[in-house]
Amino acid sequence: MKKWLLMILVGTALVLGACGGGDDDQTSEGGSSNGDAADAEAIYKSNCTACHGADLSGGVGPSLETIGASLSADEIADIIENGTGNMGPQNVSADDREVLSEWLAAKK
C-alpha cells in the first residue's frame, strides 16, 4: 500500500512539474509553415510530452495522434488555454498556443 501511494505521489509530482511552463523564447516571427511545424514540435516537446507522450500516443493524458479529426484548431487552443477534465490550463504564450493548436489540428 505504501509503495502504491509513493508511486502516485511521485507520478503526480512529475506530471505537475512537466506540464505547462512554456518557454516563451521559442516563438518565431514570420516563419514559414515548415518553420511553424518545427516550432510546434519544440513547443509540444517542452510542454506536452510528459502527459501525451513524445510520439503523441498518450500516457497520463489521451493520445493526440488523430486529435484534428475531432477538434478544430480553435477548440484545441481553447483547451490549451483553459484546460479540460484533468488537464489544467497550460502556461503557453498566445503565439505558441496558436502554432501548437494549428499543428495538432492537422493530425487526422
With H, G, I as helix, E, B as strand and everything else as coil, classify residue 84: strand
Here the cell at position 61 is: 493524458
Check: CB of residue 90 under 8 Å from CB of residue 28: no
Identify any residues that bridge with 87 across adjacent strands, giving them in sequence order: 84
* Helices marked H in the chain: 2-18, 33-47, 49-52, 73-82, 94-105
Check: CB of residue 20 under 8 Å from CB of residue 47: yes
Q: Does the annotation place 48 within a ligand binding site? A: yes
Q: Does the annotation place 1 within a ligand binding site? A: no
Q: Does the annotation place 19 within a ligand binding site? A: no
Binding residues: 48, 51-52, 87
Binding residues for heme c, by number, are 48, 51-52, 87
